[in-house]
């Protein structure tokens, strides 16, 4: 790539070639093939990350989650295989890691979320060995399955840091698969599964917290709230947690483990945090409904890096992308835009090998299922939906720019219900 003005300027620049960036680019080009779009993405591989839980549980092959990035880039878009170093939105420009400058008319920022492994003392030195696993990177997900297969009983710890994290249910999903796996191998009586989470509830949407408590109770899982992993010694098989009691006092405790699944602390990427685009917490400062930047009207953001207070999931991206596309095109054409994103998110809670609680909700924690069923129950049908149908829809519809919608409506819980399988 040269640095001539013609090659260094693009009508629309999209930062990030993950679920959000590819979906927006493909949708824009479906509506107008003449658009000049560049996607800045350093990775050569594109992953369907929601399946990492299944990989970690031995129910899905890692190879099925991966495709070459070049095959995901929509026809008509230019792929700039690099990373962003800094933004200069007042000049409609950004700088790449190699020092080259890219100018734009419109900018879409969706580089995803940053995994802050280094914030847990000793973690990086032992990750991927000594029984220390995590589904938050593809090769580590395979090690999770190795840990489950080789587990012979003892203490199995699962951690969850402060929110926000991508897919807030992921720390629990692998825990339930592990507990089910141990039970099927006859290890339930010799195993103690412990969920150590920094928060004060199993899930941020109250309607799903109680059903998830019952799932944990069914497996005999000990749940420790207000417990945050701060350090780990893989060789000694000890994890240190900062524990906050009900009085607000904080102390350090050490727990022994035979295996531990770690969910790392997460934040906006550093180059976003340090830019004029960031809010006080480091996220791209956008309107929660229009996805448009609050100070730079030709800048939009969606996905995990945005400041909108929704669950950071691929399901949210599916709903955000049409809003970004519609508002960006409206600005280009000098027509009225829309404040169309209602905070929709979806978290399929895998509760066993064969059952899922499909949690769907919008801003304010309002439960909004897409199906006329009680969404708080474990269902075998939702296992099939999550494991088989959703990956197909992701690769062949969402990333191809097809905009489809299943209407979700507010749901009111019945007066009396029981947790059953269907």
**Residue positions annotated with a catalytic role:** 167, 347
Q: Phi-psi bin for 291: left (phi > 0), alpha (psi -120 to 50), beta?
A: left
- Residue ranges of alpha helices (H) inside 185-313 are 206-219, 270-273
Distances 72 to 163, 237, 290, 400 between C-alpha atoms, Å:
30, 41, 26, 8
Cα dihedral across residues 361, 313, 61, 173: positive or negative: negative
Residue 139: Cβ-neighbour burial (10 angstroms; 0-12, 13-18, 19+): exposed
Tokens of 38: 């560049």
Query: How would you label 339-355 residue by residue, b for 16+ Cβ within 10 Å and e otherwise?
Result: eebbbbbbbbbbbbeeb
Number of helices (H), then strands (E), in the chain: 12, 21
User: b/e for 393-416, b at 16 or more Cβ within 10 A?
Assistant: ebbeebbebebeeeebeebeeeee
Phi, psi of 112 (to 5 degrees): 85, -160
Taking the CA of residue 11 as centre, how many other CA atoms within 13 Å lie in the half-sphere pointing to its CB? 16
**What span, in angstroms and rounded, lies between the C-alpha atoms of 389 and 392?**
5
- Contact between 188 and 220 (Cβ < 8 Å): yes
Cα four-point dihedral sign 360, 366, 372, 378: positive
Q: Return the residue matching tokens 């099939």.
A: 384
Other CB atoms within a 10 A radius of the CB of residue 181 amount to 20
At a CB cut-off of 8 Å and minimum separation 6, what does 3 contact? 100, 101
Q: Which two tokens stand for residue 329?
A: 């095109």
């Amino acid at each position: 790539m040269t640095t001539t003005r013609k090659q260094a300027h693009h009508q629309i620049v999209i930062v990030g070639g993950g679920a959000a960036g590819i979906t927006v680019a493909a949708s824009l080009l479906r509506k107008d093939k003449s658009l000049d779009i560049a996607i800045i993405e350093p990775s050569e591989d594109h992953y369907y990350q929601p399946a990492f839980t299944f990989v970690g549980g031995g129910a899905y092959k890692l190879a099925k989650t991966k495709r070459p990035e070049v095959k995901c880039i929509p026809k008509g878009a230019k792929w700039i295989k690099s990373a962003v170093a800094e933004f200069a939105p007042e000049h409609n420009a950004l700088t790449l890691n190699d020092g080259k400058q890219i100018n734009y008319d419109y900018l879409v920022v969706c580089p995803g979320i940053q995994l802050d492994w280094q914030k847990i003392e000793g973690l990086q030195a032992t990750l991927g060995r000594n029984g220390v696993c995590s589904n938050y990177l593809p090769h580590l997900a395979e090690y999770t399955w190795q840990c489950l297969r080789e587990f012979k009983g003892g203490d199995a710890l699962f951690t969850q840091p402060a929110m926000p994290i991508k897919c807030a249910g992921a720390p629990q999903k692998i825990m339930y698969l592990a507990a089910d796996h141990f039970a099927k191998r006859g290890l339930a009586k010799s195993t103690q599964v412990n969920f150590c989470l920094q928060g004060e509830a199993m899930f941020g949407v109250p309607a799903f917290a109680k059903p998830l408590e019952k799932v944990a109770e069914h497996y005999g899982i000990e749940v420790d709230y207000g417990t945050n992993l701060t350090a780990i010694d893989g060789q000694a098989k000890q994890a240190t947690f900062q524990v906050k009691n009900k009085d607000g006092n904080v102390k350090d405790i050490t727990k022994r483990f035979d295996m531990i699944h770690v969910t790392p602390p997460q934040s906006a990427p550093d180059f976003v945090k340090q830019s004029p685009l960031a809010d006080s917490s480091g996220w791209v400062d956008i309107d929660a409904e229009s996805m448009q930047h609050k100070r730079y009207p030709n800048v939009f953001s969606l996905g995990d890096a945005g400041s909108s207070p929704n669950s950071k999931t691929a399901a949210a991206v599916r709903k955000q992308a049409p809003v970004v596309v519609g508002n960006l095109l409206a600005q280009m054409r000098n027509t009225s835009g829309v404040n169309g994103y209602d905070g929709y998110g979806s978290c399929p809670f895998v509760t066993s090998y064969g059952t899922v609680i499909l949690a769907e909700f919008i801003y304010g924690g309002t439960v909004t299922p897409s199906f006329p069923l009680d969404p708080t129950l474990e269902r075998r049908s939702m296992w099939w939906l999550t494991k088989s149908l959703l990956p197909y829809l992701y690769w062949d519809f969402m990333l191809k720019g097809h905009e489809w919608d299943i209407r979700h409506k507010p749901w009111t819980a019945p007066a009396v219900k029981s947790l059953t399988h269907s």
